[in-house]
Amino acid sequence: MIKKSLLAMAMMMVIAGCTESEVPAPPASNAAQASTQAAAGQTAGVEETTSAEQLTESQRLTAWLDEQFAEELSFSPQRLTRLGDKTDYDKLDDVSEAAMDSLIEWRRNSVADMQATFNYDELSEDAKVSWDIWTYALERAERSEAFRHHDYIFGRGGPHAGLPNFLINFHRVDQPSDMDAYIARLTQLDDVMRQYLQRSLRAVESGIRQPRFGYDYAIAEIDRVMRGAPFTDDGVSPLMGDIETKVTALLENGQIDQASAERMLGQAETALLEQVKPAYDEVLAWLNADRINTPEEASGVWALPEGEAYYNHRLSLMTTLELTADEIHEIGLAEVARIRAEMEAIKDAVEFDGTLAEFFVFMREDPQFYFPNTDEGRQGYLDLANVYLDAMNQKLPEYFGILPKADLVVRRVEAFREQDGAAQHYASGTPDGSRPGVFYAHLSDMNAMPRYQLEVISYHEGNPGHHMQISIQQELTGIPRFRTQYGFTAFSEGWGLYTEALAKDMGFYEDPYSDFGRLATEIWRAIRLVVDTGMHAKQWSEEQSVQYFLDNSPQPEAAVRAEIQRYLTGAGQATAYKIGMLKIQELRATAMSELGDNFDYRGFHDTVLGGGALPMPVLEAQVMRWIERVKQESAAQ
Orientation angle between helical segments 616-636 and 489-505, nearest 10 degrees: 50
Rounded to whole angstroms, the Cα distance separating 625 from 430 reads 31
Q: Report the DSSP pairing between strands 408-412 and 437-441.
A: parallel
Q: Is the pLDDT of residue 458 over 60?
A: yes
* Whether 582 contacts 97, CB under 8 Å: no
pLDDT value, residue 53 = 52
Q: pLDDT by residue (tens digit) across 154-186? A: 998 899 999 999 999 999 999 999 999 999 999
Helix (H) or strand (E) holding 440: strand 437-441
Mean pLDDT value across the chain: 90
Q: Is the pLDDT of residue 355 over 50?
A: yes
CA 101 to chain centre: 25
Rounded to whole angstroms, the Cα distance separating 437 from 458 reads 13
Percent above pLDDT 90 for the chain: 84
Q: pLDDT by residue (tens digit) across 207-237? A: 999 999 999 999 999 999 999 999 999 999 9
The residue among 474, 548, 551, 553 whose CA lies nearest residue 521 is 553
Query: What is the band of 456 on the pLDDT scale with cuts at 50, 70, 90?
Result: very high
Query: What is the band of 419 on the pLDDT scale with cuts at 50, 70, 90?
Result: confident
pLDDT value, residue 201 = 97
pLDDT value, residue 20 = 28
Query: What is the band of 56 on the pLDDT scale with cuts at 50, 70, 90?
Result: confident
Identity at 477, one-letter amino acid code: T
User: Quick one: average pLDDT of 297-318?
Assistant: 96
Candidate from 29-38, 367-376, 604-613 with smallest mean pLDDT:
29-38
Percent above pLDDT 70 for the chain: 91
Rounded to whole angstroms, the Cα distance separating 96 from 153 reads 13
3-class DSSP state of 411: strand
The residue among 334, 335, 338, 366 whose CA lies nearest residue 350 is 366
Q: pLDDT by residue (tens digit) across 70-124? A: 999 999 999 999 999 999 999 999 999 999 999 999 999 999 999 999 999 999 9
Domain residues of the chain, as ranges?
A: 159-305
pLDDT value, residue 8 = 34
User: Quick one: average pLDDT of 343-369?
Assistant: 95
Q: Is the pLDDT of residue 27 over 50?
A: no
User: What distance separates the 2 farthest-apart alpha carbons in the chain?
Assistant: 76
Backbone phi, psi, residue 437, to 5°? -75, 150
Rounded to whole angstroms, the Cα distance separating 177 from 175 reads 6
Helix (H) or strand (E) holding 426: strand 425-427
Q: Report the DSSP pairing between strands 408-412 and 425-427.
A: unpaired
Q: For residue 571, what are the contacts with CB-CB under 8 A and spacing of at least 6?
A: 300, 301, 310, 311, 314, 532, 536
Q: Is the pLDDT of residue 422 over 90?
A: no
The pTM of this model reads 0.85
